[in-house]
Amino acid sequence: MTKANRAMLIGSIGAGKSTLTNALLERKIAAVKTQSLQYQDWIVDTPGEYTENPLFYKNIMATALEVTHILFLQDATKQKTIFPPGFSMGFNKLPIGVVTKSDAATAHIKQATAQLRRAVPKGPIVITSSVTGQGLAEIRELVKCSSLEEMQEAMKAVPGDVVIFH
């Protein structure tokens, strides 16, 4: 990963931000509840409260100034989403929708993908599992890209059950 590109992970409490961070960085440590911004290599892990409570949106906006990409995480085992429609359009950063926990018995991947598509109307959605490793290489590749067009080209050969591009 180039040092120039950095990604911020946002999503609800328990969406899998810290687990995904550890998986992307190939760390074999248990995730713990993030209490404050965590800068780890090319990733900025945020507390779920920053996204769940609009009073903390200013923290997300300020942190977005330090990154090139924002990963919007949707837990496939949850029925609701915390992202308002078009949420990614409020940031001048490259968006990546991420469905987490796709390997769970109670995962609803189609619903999670639809929820992310409303929040992230342009860009890729990656179906991931931090347990099996699905989608991790694709996220790493997407964060290396510097435009939506470059992201789309990089994902051209990836199966549609891993990356969906709109």
Instruction: Give the model's pLDDT for residue 28.
Output: 80
Contact status, residue 33 vs residue 20, Cβ threshold 8 Å: no
Q: Which residues of the chain have pLDDT under 50?
A: 1-2
CA pair distance 19, 32, nearest whole angstrom: 8
Answering whether pTM is above 0.75, one says yes
Instruction: Give the model's pLDDT for residue 165.
Output: 87
Mind listing the pLDDT tens digit for each residue in 27-40?
A: 887 666 767 789 99
Q: Helix-strand-coil percent breakdown of the chain, rounded to 5?
A: 35, 20, 50
Instruction: Give the model's pLDDT for residue 2.
Output: 46
> What angle separates helix 17-24 from helix 136-144, to the nearest 10 degrees?
80
Instruction: Give the model's pLDDT for residue 119.
Output: 97
